[in-house]
Amino acid sequence: MSSTTLTPLLQAAFDARTELLARLHGEATDAYRLFHGSVEGEAGLTIDRYGSLLLVQTFHSSLSPAQLDEIEDFYEHASPGLAMVYNDRSGANSRIGNPLPEDELEAAMLPREFQELGVSYHVQARHGGQDPWLFLDMRAGRRRVMQEAEGKSVLNLFAYTCGIGIAAAKAGASHVVNVDFAESSLRVGKQNARLNNLPIRPRFVQSDVFPAVRQLSGLGQPTMVRGKRMPPFPKLEAKQFDLVFLDPPRYAKSLFGVVDLVNDYSSVFKPALLATAEGGTLICCNNVAQVDADAWLDLLQRSAAKAGRTVREVEWITPEGDFPSHDGKHPLKMVLLRV
């Protein structure tokens, strides 16, 4: 990490967010990125607020004790009352590499609550997994879903901790189904549901996404494939949804199929599209920086045509101002398709 003082960079980033933070606070939001180092002068450093938590993370090189003191001192004055936790992810596979003293570890593992757009969520600075329980750059996607969801059925694929599904239910969706393979992620989603006074009870389906969405779309999932018995999976009735949200990981492989956002987005897009009702909405995400947005959209439109569906309208959803970009090409690409 650079030896130059961080304070001027932190101050410039904080000043640049003055209007945004005022608006977010007015919308019952106390979670946002305070410093986006790749654009704001210190690559590899991110500083996020989740309610009472100030989460400092490094991905390229470690912070010195003096730099940690400098960050803590700055935010004690700029945004008082936050508990700072530092996760050094500069080692292999972005695993957290810095042990914490017992009292700091206890604070890092303390369950906390925060709000985004009037929806309450849980967060822990450190937990059994690696990623934060809510990705802040996805706020624009959750905002758009809340604008769309009232009275609609919603399918949330690769749901993780179900932020999209909880937001949709809070906004008045008639039916919400969250699908994810990880029981631990769905458990957080269920806890998030209990935090909110939801008008409906969302459904949580623990399953590999491929057999789930193939069944929902009507394609079906055989129990035997090329002479091999497939692992057990929940049996689901075919059903199309008014709104489908598709946010796959960069790469994942199972006996049911391969998720590959660089080379084969169509493998997850086609069944998600077929699970979207005629006249419905499909929101697709791609978080791989090297994927060109226009080329990806062209692929989606060609895949839709091949599946016999027409894309009637396209709307890009852009991460909000706490995730600035030099060139407008955000790593996270979100596109809304009316189909």
Say what the pLDDT of residue 93 is.
84
Q: Cα dist. 1→61, 217, 219, 332 in Å?
A: 5, 49, 51, 25
DSSP at 137 = G
Write down the CATH number for the domain with range 7-109: 3.30.750.80
Q: Amino acid identity, residue 14?
A: F
Say what the pLDDT of residue 237 is.
97
Q: Amino acid identity, residue 58?
A: T
* Chain segment 191-204, per-residue pLDDT in tens: 999 999 999 999 99
Count of alpha carbons within 13 angstroms of residue 268, beta-carbon side: 29
Contact 161, 187 (CB under 8 A): no
Beta-strand ranges (E) seen in 81-147 are: 83-88, 112-116, 119-123
Q: Where in the chain is CATH 3.30.750.80?
A: 7-109
Q: In the chain, where does DSSP find H-type helix?
A: 7-16, 18-26, 37-40, 65-78, 102-108, 139-148, 163-170, 183-195, 209-217, 266-274, 293-306
DSSP at 308 = T
Q: Where in the chain is CATH 3.40.50.150?
A: 136-338
State CA 66 to chain mean position distance. Answer: 32
pLDDT greater than 60 at residue 321: yes
pLDDT greater than 60 at residue 1: no
Say what the pLDDT of residue 112 is.
98
DSSP at 64 = P
Indicate the pTM of the whole model.
0.96
pLDDT greater than 70 at residue 3: no
Q: In the structure encoding, which two tokens stand for residue 222, read together?
A: 């055989």
* Chain segment 76-90, per-residue pLDDT in tens: 999 999 999 999 999
* Chain segment 231-286, per-residue pLDDT in tens: 999 999 999 999 999 999 999 999 999 999 999 999 999 999 999 999 999 999 99
Q: Can you state the angle between helices 209-217 and 266-274, rounded to 10 degrees?
A: 40
Contacts of 195 (CB under 8 A, 6+ apart): 113, 120, 121, 122
DSSP at 264 = B
Q: Give the CATH H-level superfamily of domain 136-338.
A: Vaccinia Virus protein VP39 (3.40.50.150)
